[in-house]
Every structure is written in C-alpha cells, then in structure tokens.
C-alpha cells in the first residue's frame, strides 16, 4: 500500500462544492476515504497556506509531434503540463502529417503513454489534411481513441461540410470542437483591427471573423439537436452569441485562454511576435466580457492553446511569424493574478473552470477529489510571486507573452494517480 499525505492545505473540490481546511490522504493512486489515516505515510507534502485542487485538465494543447519537434515534443510538452499542474491534456491534430488517420493518432498516444506523465488524449482532424474539402475517416479516428474532432488552426468554412461533420460526430457520441474563423473575413489580418493595429502598421482582423462562425455553429447545433464545443473565444460579440444561445437552451461548451483574459491588442502592438496568436488579443472591452462570461459560467472552460514555436520562427517579425504562444507553465498563475484576484473567480470556480468542466466537456476522468477518485492533484501556492523566465521552462517553446511580468501564485506540486510527478525546487 503506497500512501501520500498532502497536509495542512485548503482542499478545493468543485465536484462537491467543497472549500475546506483539510488534509488529503492518497492511497494506492486514489483519494482515500475521509476517515483514512495511516500511521506513517510513505510521502508527505506540507501544503500549509496552499490550495489543493484537482489536477488541471487542458483541452487545447499543441504538442507539435510529429512534424515540428524543434518546437515541442510529446515528452517536453508533457513535462510543461506537469509543471503547470495539468494532469490531463488533449492535443490538437494540426501535426505534420495531420491526425486525420488512425496511424498518426496511435503513434502520438503511444508515445504519450510511454512518457508516463499527464494523461494525454487527442482530437482527430475533421477533414482530410485539415483542408476543409472532405471529411476525415471519423469512425476510424474514433476507434483509434480520439475524444472529438477539430480542424484547429482553421475553421470548417463550408457549412454543408460542418453540418455533416457535426452529424457524424454525434453518431459516434463525440463532438466537433471548432476553431471559429471565417477565412474570407480574417484574410491577411495578424492583429485585432483597431487603433493599436493602425499604430503598429499591421493588417487588422475584424471580430466578426470569429463571431460569425460562432453564430453559425450555434445555429447548426440547434438545428441538429446536438452540442458543439467552441475553442479559444476572444470577442465580446462571440460572448453575446453565447449568452443568447444559453437563454434559448442551445447546447454548447466554450473555452477561453489565460492570455485573452489578461492581455489586449495594446499589449500585442507593443509586444512583438510573442504576442501574436490566432485569434488575436482583443480590446479591453473584449477582455472584460470574457472575464464576465467566465464568472457567469457562460464560458465554463479555461484552456491554454499552448502553441510552441521555435525562436527562429518567431524571429520573422509580427507579420510573418507563426501564430501562437505557450501557456501551460503560466496558466494557473495568470488566472490567479488577472482573473481570481480581480474578483471574477473564487478558488472553487477557478478549480471548476480548469478541471471539472473541461473534463466533463470531453467525458474525461478528472476534476474531482472525491474519495475513490483517481488522485490527480495540483497544489497551488497563492503567496509565491514570480516572474516567468522562458529559458527555464520545461517546454521547448520560449514564446511566452508573460515573460518578465510579475505573476502571483504558482503550482508547486503535481500528482498523477497518486504519484508526485512534479515538485518545485523549494518544496
């Protein structure tokens, strides 16, 4: 019998609406019964003053393997996840080749299993080569273990194809996750259209590029009596569509990234290629609308869209560098600093948005510290302030927009199935 005691912490369990000062006992990989106590635990972590939460679940991660291992590998991505408190992640299929066939999916999942870090799941591509022309073999992808489908990096432009994809996914008991972007509207834009874009002399992209596809997919979900997942939302127009859809009983889940909750187009215009991502950072009003939507549970999921790129690729300048920023190693700290401390989320809500809700959206295990549950845990020290130095990250990516910016709170210990997989240097 292997036992681990996380003692003196504040136990935060969104699955039981529990926020209480209590020790957490783990036995043989599972959360032990409430009355359990061993005389001598095999391992002890002193969590005095810290939040003990279910391990975080990130449903939007780019592991870059196969095809761009200079930017990230399954192994380095998994290490980054653990350092950020993530015990489960879902990787995106825009690899090279794309995960539009079962072989590539199996290769990535096998590799991840061998790492023995966080649990790794994958979304399969919606269309062959993510080209938006014809549907990928979705049944075969489901057999290979994908937990949903997305052409992330682009949205499915053709409405008939998007409709057929939603139907086929639903028949498999799965859902489409949409990267909402109308290509015709975003064409050439690299930053949100507005004064900051003009000042930086960069081609701008209008908010409708995202919100028009959000509206279309919500309409399709209603017509097909199914549910859709909307990825990395960034505009107040999208939030307005979600609020209206919720009121009408349309089924959806939606995610928002830490960077869209913390930063704006002004940061992008001043900050350079490490602030270039797709969708781009919005106006201050968008940022506020996203925080409010998260507070009100209209958007219930925080996902990082962790997107590593090599320094050489990011050195091409704002206009030509690829879109994307890394995020797993800073996510909890950014949420704590920019969202929780500003009063938009309680610790219990933060835990729900980072573990319970994302797990539920893709029917994954996680998000609970109930006795008997698999012991996936993130210990967060709210009193530890730090300044991210990307050269110290476990990720291969260095494209971090929070580099050099003071953050409050940090993950100090990550437990997967009862095993301590990450412990910071101080503990």
What residues act catalytically?
305
What's the farthest any 2 CA atoms get from each other in the chain? 66
**Which stretch, 96-104, 176-184, 310-318, 386-394, contacts Zn ion (CB under 5 A)?**
176-184
Question: Nearer Cβ to Zn ion, position 88 or 257?
Answer: 257
- 7/24 Cα distance (integer angstroms): 6
Q: Which tokens sit at 82?
A: 């653990």
Q: How far is the CB of 8 from Zn ion (least distance, A)?
A: 40
Q: Considering only residues 58, 152, 178, 329, which one is a binding residue for Zn ion as defined by CB under 5 A?
A: 152
Per-residue interface string for the shown chain with Zn ion, residues 355-394, x marking contact by CB under 5 A: ----------------------------------------
Site string for Zn ion, 229-268 (x = CB under 5 A): ----------------------------------------
Q: Which residue among 27, 64, 175, 179 contacts Zn ion (CB under 5 A)?
A: 179
Whose CA is closest to 216, among 271, 174, 178? 178
* Kind of pairing between the strands at 251-256 and 227-230: parallel
Q: How far is the CB of 369 from Zn ion (least distance, A)?
A: 31
3-class state of residue 334 by DSSP: helix
Between β-strands 43-46 and 251-256, what pairing exists: parallel, antiparallel or unpaired? unpaired
Number of chain residues interacting with Zn ion (CB under 5 A)? 2
Residue closest to Zn ion when measured from CB atoms: 179
Residue closer to Zn ion, measured from CB, 123 or 141: 123
CB of 305 to Zn ion, least distance (A): 6
**Nearest residue to 87 via CA among 425, 414, 418, 323:** 414
**Of 70-78, 102-110, 147-155, 310-318: span binding Zn ion (CB under 5 A):** 147-155
Which of 282, 200, 278, 292 minimizes the C-alpha distance to 242?
292
Taking the C-alpha atoms of residue 293 and residue 287, their distance in angstroms, rounded to an integer, is: 10
Could you tell me which residues are beta bridge partners of residue 284?
none
Cα–Cα dist 401/272, whole Å: 9
Closest distance of CB 278 from Zn ion, Å: 6
State in Å, rounded, how far the first CA of the chain is from the last one.
24
Is 309:400 a contact under the CB 8 Å cutoff? Answer: no
CB of 46 to Zn ion, least distance (A): 40
Let me know: does 343 contact 350? Beta carbons within 8 Å. no
Nearer to Zn ion, 153 or 382 (CB): 153
User: In the complex with Zn ion, which residue's Cβ is closer, 179 or 396?
Assistant: 179
Cβ closer to Zn ion: 119 or 179? Answer: 179
Q: Kindly state whether residue 329 participates in binding Zn ion, applying the rule CB under 5 A.
A: no
The residue ranges that bind Zn ion (CB under 5 A) are 152, 179
């Amino acid at each position: 019998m292997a036992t681990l005691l996380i003692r003196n912490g504040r136990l935060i369990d969104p699955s039981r609406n529990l926020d209480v000062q209590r020790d957490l006992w783990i036995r043989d990989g599972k959360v032990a019964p409430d009355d359990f106590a061993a005389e001598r635990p095999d391992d002890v972590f002193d969590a005095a003053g810290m939040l003990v939460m279910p391990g975080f679940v990130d449903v939007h991660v780019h592991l870059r393997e196969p095809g761009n291992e200079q930017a990230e590998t399954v192994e380095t991505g998994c290490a980054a996840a653990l350092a950020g408190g993530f015990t489960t992640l879902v990787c995106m299929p825009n690899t090279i080749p794309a995960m539009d066939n079962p072989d590539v999916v199996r290769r990535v999942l096998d590799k991840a299993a061998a790492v023995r870090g966080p649990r790794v799941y994958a979304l399969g591509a919606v269309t062959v080569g993510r080209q938006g022309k014809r549907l990928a073999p979705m049944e075969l992808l489901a057999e290979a273990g994908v937990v949903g489908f997305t052409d992330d990096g682009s949205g499915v432009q053709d409405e008939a194809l998007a409709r057929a994809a939603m139907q086929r996914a639903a028949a498999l008991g799965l859902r489409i996750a949409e990267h909402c972007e109308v290509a015709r509207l975003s064409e050439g834009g690299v930053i949100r259209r507005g004064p900051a874009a003009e000042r930086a002399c960069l081609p701008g992209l209008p908010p409708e590029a995202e919100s028009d596809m959000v509206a279309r997919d919500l309409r399709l979900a209603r017509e097909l009596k199914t549910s859709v997942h909307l990825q990395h939302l960034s505009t107040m127009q999208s939030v307005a569509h979600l609020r209206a859809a919720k009121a009408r009983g349309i089924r959806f889940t939606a995610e928002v990234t830490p960077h869209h909750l913390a930063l704006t187009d002004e940061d992008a215009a001043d900050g350079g290629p490490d602030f270039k991502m797709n969708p781009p950072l919005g106006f201050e009003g968008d940022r506020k609308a996203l925080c409010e939507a998260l507070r009100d549970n209209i958007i219930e999921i925080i996902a990082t869209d962790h997107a590593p790129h090599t320094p050489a690729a990011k050195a091409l300048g704002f206009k030509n560098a690829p879109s994307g920023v890394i995020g797993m190693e800073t996510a909890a700290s950014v949420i704590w600093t920019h969202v929780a401390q500003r009063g938009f989320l309680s610790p219990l809500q933060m835990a729900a948005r980072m573990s319970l809700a994302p797990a539920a959206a893709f029917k994954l295990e996680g998000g609970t510290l109930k006795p008997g549950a698999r012991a996936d845990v993130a210990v967060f020290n709210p009193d530890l302030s730090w300044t991210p130095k990307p050269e110290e990250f476990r990720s291969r990516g260095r494209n971090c927009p929070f580099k050099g910016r003071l953050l409050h709170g940090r993950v100090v210990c990550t437990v997967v199935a009862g095993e301590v997989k990450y412990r910071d240097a101080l503990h």
